[in-house]
């Protein structure tokens, strides 16, 4: 009977974890320890044990990088990015979406402030924003998209539970 129970527990345990589904990507920083050089911290976490720490030495957080043709065979119209942030006093940071062509030239770079007036210092808050691909030359299959947090104020802050959702179709405002 033990041989049947252990595989069942493994399967049930795997079903409870958040997974990538279709056009939605998610990272809670729990499963990447040892797999990448991103700066993890157990000092603060929105969920689990780890978050991504940004400071004067580590100005860029974990970066999601994917060519459009690997995201979808259909045209991506926009990307919705949300992340939980814990901003220290007077910390300044941005959520960045960047697109490069195959030659490596940046053809789109947009950012949104993480330090909005409604953001309370030293408290976890979700920051969300949509980034539209207004020009059809941006979301060509061969171009590469990057999404990352950027610490442009050099004060310590943390990000956790990053969610990236791609919306298909033309972008309209």
Give 4-70 as a DSSP string: HHHHHHHHHHHHTS---BTTEEEE-SSS-TTTS---EESS--SSSS-EEEE-SS--B---EEEEHHH
SS3 at position 167 = strand
Boundaries of domain holding 113? 19-168
In a domain? residue 3: no
Region 86-98: mean pLDDT is 89
| pLDDT tier, 172 (very low <50, low <70, confident <90, very high otherwise) | low
Looking at residue 146, what is its pLDDT? 96
How much of the chain exceeds pLDDT 70, in percent? 72
Looking at residue 32, what is its pLDDT? 53
In a domain? residue 124: yes
Residue, of 173 and 125, whose pLDDT is higher:
125
In a domain? residue 2: no
In a domain? residue 6: no
In a domain? residue 13: no
In a domain? residue 158: yes
Alpha carbon distance 88, 139 (integer Å): 35
| pLDDT tier, 135 (very low <50, low <70, confident <90, very high otherwise) | confident
In a domain? residue 1: no
Per the structure, how many domains does the chain have? 1
Cβ(82)–Cβ(163) under 8 Å?
Answer: yes
Looking at residue 30, what is its pLDDT? 60
| pLDDT tier, 2 (very low <50, low <70, confident <90, very high otherwise) | very low
Q: Is the pLDDT of residue 17 over 50?
A: no
Residue, of 148 and 11, whose pLDDT is higher:
148
CATH code of 93's domain: 2.60.120.260
Q: Is the pLDDT of residue 8 over 50?
A: no
How much of the chain exceeds pLDDT 90, in percent? 43
Region 25-52: mean pLDDT is 66
Cβ(75)–Cβ(83) under 8 Å?
Answer: no
pTM beyond 0.85: the answer is no
Region 35-63: mean pLDDT is 78
Residue, of 167 and 10, whose pLDDT is higher:
167
């Amino acid at each position: 009977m033990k041989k049947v129970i252990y595989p069942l527990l493994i399967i049930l345990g795997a079903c409870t974890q958040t997974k990538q589904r279709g056009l939605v990507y998610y990272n809670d920083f729990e499963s990447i320890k040892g797999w990448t050089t991103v700066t993890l911290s157990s000092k603060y976490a929105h969920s689990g044990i780890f978050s991504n720490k940004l400071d004067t030495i580590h100005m860029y957080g974990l970066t999601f990088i994917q060519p459009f043709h690997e995201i979808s065979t259909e045209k991506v119209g926009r990307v919705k990015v949300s992340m939980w942030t814990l901003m220290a006093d007077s910390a300044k940071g941005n959520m960045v979406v960047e697109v490069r062509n195959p030659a490596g030239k940046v053809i789109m770079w947009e950012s949104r402030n993480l330090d909005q007036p409604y953001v309370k210092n030293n408290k976890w808050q979700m920051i969300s924003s949509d980034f539209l691909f207004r020009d059809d030359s941006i979301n060509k299959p061969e171009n590469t998209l990057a999404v990352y947090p950027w610490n442009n104020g050099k004060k310590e802050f943390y990000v956790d539970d990053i969610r990236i959702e791609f919306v298909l179709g033309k972008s309209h405002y």
